[in-house]
Structure 1
């Protein structure tokens, strides 16, 4: 399922935080949103999983305006892993992952065979098979992220929306999480601070600055030294990764450049 965001405006306290954003994620594509803090990445993603209502513009899922869908219909199409965490800490891992099946269950009905199989498959996919009885609160940071990703997988959505899923993870767990996303291909919108991770994972990048998209395209075309200087205020060389051949950004940590004004 493809996602298209058209002329999106979102405001807080009478001012636009996001202005005229247009971006796409083709069916089966991983589209990354990158940009400095406060550039509007999370705000855009929150409109896709309906945490925020835009003041203008629209979000289309396979050509259907998101506003015409009920919350129940949206939940069957879109699964989100937001930065904000819910009150899952008193639950077991199995109970957390099983929450992803809620859009498919009738009121007051228990889990059926399809639900149980979906939860078991999601736990296996993230390497947590056999850990369903553990308390979610007892998991490490990396395990919690995997459990929450399993919840999204169990939801069996057409579209995944992930807001900084590698935050607070060590290098191994970051690599592990990104590998899981590569292996489970589906239409994905993801925001990442780590530009090298974004370049490695994403088919397409959308660079936001001051609430607007200032560049879009494949990572190799978008992540140029000039853009890194103007948007992120860093001096960097863009080269090939010696192990993978993908885009690699080498930063000059001795010099900070003035970022472009919003």
Structure 2
């Protein structure tokens, strides 16, 4: 399913956090949101999975305003891995992942064979199938991250909304998670701090700055040295990755850039 975000505005306590954002997450593609801290990435994602109601604009799921769908129907189509993740579940790993089947169950209905198969497959996908009986609270941060991703997979969604999904993961599990996203061929809207990961995994990027989308396009077209200097305040060269051919950003860790006062539009 395709996501269209049209003229979205979100405000907290009278302060505009997202200002008139327009962007598309095409069906079957991984669409990345990148930008400095405080640029509005998480706020925008929260409107997509209905945690926040926008002050103006709308989020369309396959042409339908997502606010017109029931909570259960929305949850069957869109699964989220937010940054504010509960860590106090007094449940086993398997029980947490099984929560992803809730949108498909009637009140007080028990598990069936389909539920059990879906949960087992989701745990295997994130490499946690051998940990199903452990308490969620006993897991490391990276393990919890993978369990919550498995819960999102268990929903069987058409769209995945992932806010910094590689947080707390070691490098091996970061690579495995990003490869897993590529292999699922589902529509995904993902915020990432790691620009090289974004350049590698995303089909299209949207750059946010001060709540506004200032650039959109394929990573190679968007992540240019001038934009990196203006938006992120870093000096960098963009070269071809020697193993994959993807854009690879080589940062100058010794000398920060001096961004101008006005951030231009890079569309």
TM-score range normalised by the length of the shorter chain: over 0.9
Aligned equivalents of 2:25, 2:214: Cα separation in 1: 16
Map residues 1-262 of structure 1 onto 2, 5 A cutoff.
Answer: 1-261=1-261
- Equivalent residues of 2:34, 2:193 under 8 A apart: yes
- Equivalent residues of 2:7, 2:56 under 8 A apart: yes
Deviations 1:60-84 (A, max 9, x none): 0000001111111111111000000
Deviations 1:153-177 (A, max 9, x none): 1000010000011123222222222
- Deviation, 1:12, is 0.6
Deviations 1:8-41 (A, max 9, x none): 0000111211011000011101000000000000
Supply the RMSD in Å over aligned alpha carbons. Answer: 1.2
Q: Which runs of 5+ in 1 are unaligned?
A: none
Aligned equivalents of 1:128, 1:249: Cα separation in 2: 32
- Equivalent residues of 1:231, 1:260 under 8 A apart: no
Q: How many residues align?
A: 262
- Equivalent residues of 2:87, 2:137 under 8 A apart: no
Task: Give the SS at the match of 2:36.
Answer: coil
Q: Which runs of 5+ in 2 are unaligned?
A: none
Cα distance, 1:140–1:176 mapped onto 2, change above 3 Å? farther
- Deviation, 1:129, is 1.9
Task: Give the SS at the match of 2:129.
Answer: coil
Q: Select between 142-151 and 190-199 the one with higher mean Cα deviation.
A: 142-151
Q: Select between 142-151 and 74-83 the one with higher mean Cα deviation.
A: 142-151
- Equivalent residues of 1:76, 1:155 under 8 A apart: yes
Aligned equivalents of 1:119, 1:167: Cα separation in 2: 23
Task: Give the SS at the match of 1:130.
Answer: helix
Aligned equivalents of 1:232, 1:125: Cα separation in 2: 34
- Deviation, 1:87, is 4.5
Aligned equivalents of 1:135, 1:123: Cα separation in 2: 14
- Equivalent residues of 2:3, 2:61 under 8 A apart: yes
Aligned equivalents of 1:200, 1:141: Cα separation in 2: 24
Cα distance, 1:167–1:259 mapped onto 2, change above 3 Å? farther
- Equivalent residues of 1:233, 1:260 under 8 A apart: no
- Equivalent residues of 1:20, 1:212 under 8 A apart: yes
- Deviation, 1:138, is 2.2
